[in-house]
Each structure stands twice: as structure tokens, then as C-alpha cells.
Amino acid sequence: MLPSKAQIIALLTVSALLPVSFAQQLVAVKANALLPSRRYSCSSVYDGDDTIYIVGGSDAYSQLGVKDILAYKISTDAITRVASLALEVISNTATTSIDSAGNIYIYTGNIFYYGNVHKFIPSSGEIVHMATLPSTDYYHAAIPLGPTYDIVYLMGSSTNTKTVASYYMGSDIGAVVVGNLSVAYLPMTAISDGNGSAFIFGSEVGVTKPEYSVVRVNLATLAVTRGPETVPRMYRKPAAVWDGKHGYVFGGYRNDSAGHYTNTIGQFDPATMRLTLLPVANFPANGTNVLDLTTAVYVSKLNRIYLFGGRTYGVGDDVPLDGIWYIDLSPLTPTTTTRPTTTTRPTTTTRPTTTTSTTTPIPPSSTTLCPEELSCVGKVDGNYPHPFDCAKYIRCQREVLTEMICPEGLHFDPAIGACNFPELVDCDETSVTLGPETIPFIYGKPAAVFDGKHGYVLGGYGNDSAGHFTSTIGQFNPDTMRIRLHPVSNFPASGTQLLDMTTAVYVEKLNRIYFIGRRTSYQTSPNGTTVDGIWYIDLTTLCPEELSCVGKVDGNYPHPFDCAKYIRCQREVLTEMSCPEDLLFDPVIKACNFPELVDFDETCM
């Protein structure tokens, strides 16, 4: 498909007016094909070959949404209607996903009616109702776990903004709520990296500021990591795609004084968690008009992003679109090579940057696709600040760069050229990594050790109704950021007594934890009994963490070591599920229930 003569002339004219650094600027090329009507809030999905499906949306004629399922053929630039949803399906807020067999799943609903899941089978044109969604709501994003999994996560609920639900594509078992995020973003959009993480772009609910963090979500644990604040404030709903290496964000923002021009797209780097704005010639929105409620897909074999419909939103000016555009990403292939590095410890600590105000109509040249550059070329030997991480610094020796990490708990101090205590360093550090909330409420002072793979926490907690028994120790997994409680026979505290103010060490050659001296205090009183004693725990007796669905019929099963979770088995595929906050899994009814109604056992299964 080639651009028209008029488009070529327009693009050459724009290129001639741009600075030299933008000679390879991104360009939005408008296709000859048009949507059947001007529409927005559609959802789109790519079949991996030559077809993009566009589902639902809103236009001037449909109160409950457009019922069309359209097929756009990339090679012929032709669009046809291949199926229609039933009239009662609320399709103006639909999201979509595709399974490994090429079937398309459509998630619909609104704040008054329970949502539904429909399956569209492209080979036959058949539409089948599959399941219901867990609430009277709709979701802004459907995030696949990965290309080899048929599990999708639904995020961005319009009312329960922190809620995350999951659905096994092809199942007639309804989508279930798996937990809540620690942050809420609306307007928002999200993408999957295909490796178990989702990235959320948007504006944080209840917080007003010019820029926000990208949020990484571990889909297995719902643990959240924030990046530096580089995402423009979203006034309208954006769209996003993933190309296998970077994310791209379209529309929703406008703030010329901060350099957030409407005729740009955001490129997201998951390594730095930063969003960089890239100018796009011939973009469907510009000036004060924001691109809103468009839908986008990435076509890997052409290295293109396709946009369908949407609307341009301005003050007193709301114009629906019927156009189809594509943006070729090949001009943005970076020409620089990746630097060598000796960094061995990963970190999520970052420093937000400020955006320089400008009144020029074209964004500054620093917003090209080239990666953020660390260089020692032309610099004298010495240590230099890291551009976005206070806990790192750059060492230059004979123009060779080495990325260094300060000892834990210290920051690099440019004034002395070495690491220093954070309170003595002028560095704006706002981003930390928070794991899921699995640590029991601490009444007394606990102790902790690390065995090289896991951490272990001893004492300080006690809450039988929540399963936080005092005769347990907590095992910490740094990969999932979760604490798991293990029962310990002959533990020096039990019942209502807490182990308090002990001290502990790990002895590697024996694989034992020794703890010496303690005070057992009561949960209801600060007074306790001080007792002399030396104990050790042999860690080789810990129960293995075996989760399996092999040989099991489809259904929900108790989690072997966490009463607030359960195992969903479908076709011998295991999904680890979490109950909503303050509920525990009840093996009798095979669903989550109130703790006082659940007969759970503290022992290791």
C-alpha cells in the first residue's frame, strides 16, 4: 500500500521545513480505506498475518455501541464487516484479546450491567457467549500473560479502579477478581511485555501533577514498581502497543509549555522505565486538539503501528474520526551501539527528571529514539553522576565507561566524587519498589537473616484469625517480594505469646538459623518474660514449594502454603489466584470466603 501523490508532496514539504536532525522523523501515513462511520472507543487486535480486527466502539448512531466486527486487510488496504454483535451487547467500551488458536475474545459491559465475554471465531464468523465478568463494570485494558498462555488480565476498572481480574480464554468459567493494585490510574492504558509483566500508562487517581510514573505490574503477584515521572498528564484516554522491545503510547495528553505536544507519540523503555516523546508528521491530532479513544496495534512483519479511528478533543471541538493511519518505526532504528557495563545488581530506584519548557512548535531534538546515552568520550578520568539513578555512578578511565553501584544504602555524591549517606547528598530520590502486602502486622521487634536465596523473619507478629501464628517463621522470596509463613515445632513462642527482641544468624555450612536470647511478650501487654536460650532451626526440613495441576480435573484447589490464595486448574494448566483483600480460600465451597467461616490449617501441606 503506497501513500497518494498529495501525501508524498505534503511529507516532502514537512521534511524540508524540519531541522536536519529530524530528516528521519516519524510520519503518520493515512490509508485510503476508511471505517464505515466516524467512530471512537473501538478495540483492535492483530491476527499475526495480514488481518487486523476492529471491534465495537461509539458513533453518532449507536446508543449502546457499534456492533460491527471489521476486518482490515493490510496487503490490500481494504476493510469489510465480517460479523455483528447482538443488539443487547454493550460494545461502546469493549476490549479484546486473541488466543493461541487465533480466536478473538471481546470483553464488554458498563456500570449498570454485568459485563460479558464473547468469542469470535474468524474461520467461521461465529460469535459465542463464553462467560461473565465479575462486576457491573468495564475494563480499560486486556493484558495477555504471554504468547504461550491463554490467560488475560483485565485492568483499569471504571469504578473499582485498583481491581485486577483474570480470564482463561476458551473457558466457560467466568472471569474472577485476583486482587487489587496498590495504585489506581484513570485515564489509563496498559500493555504486556509477554514475559509476565504489564506496564500501565496514565494519570494517578486523586493526584494532580504534570507528569506521572510508568507502573510495572508483576502479573503473578500484582507487585508494583514505579519508574521516574516521565508520563504526561492524561486528560483523555490513550492507546498503547508493544513491539517486543519498547512500548508506544498515543494520545491523551496536551501541555505545550512542558513539551507535551499533541502531535507526538511516547516511546517507553522498560529498562529505564522512561517515556520519551517523539514528533510525528501528519499526525491525526495537533495543536490544542488531543487524540482521544483511538485504538492501535503493532504489525511486527512490517514494523508498523496502525491506528484506527478515535476523536480529536479540544475546547468546544470534539471531532470523531473515520481514518486509518500507520506509522513506520524503521526510521527510528538507533545508530549508536550499547555501551559495555559491569553492573551486576539490578535496581528499580530512579530519579524523576524535569521537562524544560519551550514554545517552539517542534519538540527538541533530544526526543529522538536513540537510547539515553552514557558516555565518557571527551571526559577526564574520574567519577560522574548517573543520569537517572542516585545509587549508581559512572566511572571514566581513558574514555572507557563503567557503570558502578554504591554500597547498599548509599548514594553517589557529586560534591566529593564518591558514595555518601543519602541525607548528605543532594539527589531527588522518589521511587522505591513495594512488594505485595504479605508481612503480618508487627507488634514486637522481629529478627531476620538471609541464606543466599531467601530471607527469614523471626518473631514480632501474632494474629490467629489471619493465619499469622506465633509459632511460625516467615520465608521471604525476593523474586516475588512475598513472605510465606512456615510452622515450627518446639518454637520458643506459641499461642498468644510473641517472640520479641531476639537476634539471629544463618550458618551456611549447616543450613541452620541460630537465634539467641528472647523475650516472649503478650499481644495485649508490653510486659513479657525474658528467657535465656539458644535454638537452631534446620532449613532442610522446609516443605517444598510444589504447585501442579498435572492429573487434576478442572477446578479450584487450596494453595499449599497461603490461605489467601488458591490454585485454578484448567486443562492441567496452573494459575495461581489471590482472594480479594481480607478473604481466605474456603476448600469446602472452593471459593473465597470470610476468615471466620474458613477452616484453615497452619501446617505445611
- Count other C-beta atoms under 10 Å from residue 408's C-beta: 8
Q: What is the CATH number of the domain that holds 569?
A: 2.170.140.10
Q: Cα(586)–Cα(592) distance, rounded to whole angstroms? A: 6
Q: Which of 433, 411, 431 is nearest to 423 (CA)?
A: 411
Specify whether 319 is located in the same domain as 466. no
Q: Cα(534)–Cα(507) distance, rounded to whole angstroms? A: 14
- Is residue 153, in this structure, part of any structural domain at all? yes
- Determine phi and psi for 401, rounding to 5 degrees: -95, 135
Specify whether 165 is located in the same domain as 269. yes
- At residue 406, what is the residue type? C
* pLDDT at 369 > cutoff 80: no
- Is residue 162, in this structure, part of any structural domain at all? yes
Q: Is 50 exposed, middle or buried (0-12, 13-18, 19+ CB in 10 A)?
A: middle
pTM (2 decimals)? 0.57
Residue with cell 506509522: 327
Calculate mean pLDDT across residues 73-81: 97
Specify whether 54 is located in the same domain as 135. yes
Q: For 331-360, what is each residue's pLDDT tens digit?
A: 876 433 333 333 333 333 333 333 333 333
Specify whether 131 is located in the same domain as 273. yes
Specify whether 157 is located in the same domain as 102. yes
Q: Cα(365)–Cα(372) distance, rounded to whole angstroms? A: 13
Specify whether 285 is located in the same domain as 417. no
Q: Which of 330, 349, 368 is the last residue of a domain?
A: 330
User: In the structure grid, which three cell numbers stand for residue 376, read together?
Assistant: 565518557
Q: Cα(274)–Cα(520) distance, rounded to whole angstroms? A: 48
- Is residue 490, in this structure, part of any structural domain at all? yes
User: In the structure grid, which three cell numbers stand for residue 558, read together?
Assistant: 487450596
Radius of gyration of the chain (CA): 27
Q: Cα(504)–Cα(489) distance, rounded to whole angstroms? A: 18
Specify whether 109 is located in the same domain as 251. yes
Specify whether 119 is located in the same domain as 80. yes
What's the confidence (pLDDT) of residue 215?
96
Give the β-pairing of 274-281 and 26-30: parallel
- Is residue 159, in this structure, part of any structural domain at all? yes
Domain span holding position 591: 555-597
Residue with cell 508528521: 281
- At residue 357, what is the residue type? S
* pLDDT at 564 > cutoff 50: yes
| Minimum mean pLDDT range among 428-432, 513-517, 532-536 | 428-432
Per-residue b/e over 314-334, b at no fewer than 16 CB within 10 Å? beeeeebbbbbbbbebeebee
> Which secondary structure element, helix H or strand E, spans residue 559, and what is its range?
none
What's the confidence (pLDDT) of residue 546?
56
- Is residue 216, in this structure, part of any structural domain at all? yes
Specify whether 213 is located in the same domain as 310. yes
- Is residue 65, in this structure, part of any structural domain at all? yes
Q: Which of 208, 198, 105 is nearest to 150 (CA)?
A: 105
What's the confidence (pLDDT) of residue 374?
65
Q: Cα(169)–Cα(99) distance, rounded to whole angstroms? A: 7
Specify whether 461 is located in the same domain as 388. no
Is residue 533 within 8 Å of residue 515, measured between CB atoms?
Answer: no
Give the β-pairing of 584-586 and 290-292: unpaired
Q: Cα(312)–Cα(571) distance, rounded to whole angstroms? A: 45
User: In the structure grid, which three cell numbers stand for residue 39, read together?
Assistant: 467512530
Residue with cell 513495594: 434
- Is residue 218, in this structure, part of any structural domain at all? yes
Q: Which of 538, 563, 579 is the last residue of a domain?
A: 538
What single DSSP character describes residue 260? B
Specify whether 489 is located in the same domain as 410. no
The structural domain count of the chain equals 4
Q: For 400-441, what is each residue's pLDDT tens digit?
A: 777 788 877 788 888 888 888 888 888 754 444 556 778 888
Q: Mean pLDDT for the chain?
A: 81
Q: What is the CATH number of the domain that holds 41?
A: 2.120.10.80
- Is residue 359, in this structure, part of any structural domain at all? no
Specify whether 180 is located in the same domain as 260. yes
